Structure 1
Amino acid sequence: MALMTPTLTIASALSGLNIVLLAALGAVWWRNYRQFGTPLTLGLVAFAVVLVVENVVAIGFFFSSGMLYAADPTAQVAVLAMRALQFVALAFLTYVTIR
């Protein structure tokens, strides 16, 4: 296992936070689906599940030594920026959903 750079460590932490937010959203949306049974809420549950899987896979790549972007600082910053943007989007979505 290769040592992670600080950039990838932060990206990994953001992926973990994204999973937490998606779990909260998924729980609310699943409860709503069970109550109302609408296809839209089922679609939101599927959306949450797919993004959880994507974040779990990303964390796996962050910890693996075979990362495509492991040695490229520019790629690492881009990965961090994408994780941060996803976190901001999920934070807003979680706020308005829970509220």
Structure 2
Amino acid sequence: MAFWMSSAVGLAVVNLFLLAVLGAVWLRNYRTFRTNLLLGLLLFAGVLAMENLVAIGAYLSTEMVYAGGTRAMYAVVGLRAMQFLALSFLTVVTLFPSGSIFRSVRERASGERS
């Protein structure tokens, strides 16, 4: 069970890092463009970061709650993993808006086939 608890906390920490990267980009863009969409994205990142901080605190302070519930811990880790995937996709499209990261992967794949 310690492995799953550590996995949940680790994923929450990685999610916080991704949110910090996204928040920095969105804040820079908000200062430039002043659009409501970017303000909404900043608020989204802030709320999700708070949720991850609370989750880390809950995992560390209520470890006994999860000790008896293997299914509950699997569900928590699964939810953190899905959040990680969603934030990863959002980070990629935010940092590479033109799709350059995908083009380079496609070019390498097509070059290897020839």
User: TM-score, length-normalised on structure 1?
Assistant: 0.91
Distance 2:66 2:30 in 1: 39
Tell me the C-alpha RMSD between the 2 structures.
1.4
- Structure 1: 4+ residue segments shifted above 6 A: none
1:24 corresponds in structure 2 to 21
Quick check: which one's helix share is greater? 2
Q: Structure 1 residues 30, 7: CA separation in 2 closer, same or farther (over 3 Å shift)? A: same
Q: Which has the larger radius of gyration?
A: 2
Answer whether contact 1:25 1:97 (CA < 8 A) is retained: yes
Q: Which has the higher contact order (CA 8 A, sep 6+)?
A: 1
> Quick check: 1:13 aligned with 2:10?
yes
User: TM-score, length-normalised on structure 2?
Assistant: 0.80
User: 1:2-47 deviations in whole A, cap 9, x for unaligned?
Assistant: xx62111101000000000000000000111110000110000000
2:92 corresponds in structure 1 to 95
> Quick check: 1:63 aligned with 2:63?
no
2:73 corresponds in structure 1 to 76
Unpaired runs of at least 5, structure 2 = 97-114
Give how far 1:71 is off: 2.0
Given candidates 38, 48, 52, the residue that maps to 1:51 is 48
Unpaired runs of at least 5, structure 1 = none
Give how far 1:69 is off: 3.3
Taking only the aligned residue pairs, the percentage that are identical comes to 52
Distance 2:71 2:86 in 1: 23
Alignment length (residue pairs): 96
Distance 2:48 2:81 in 1: 14
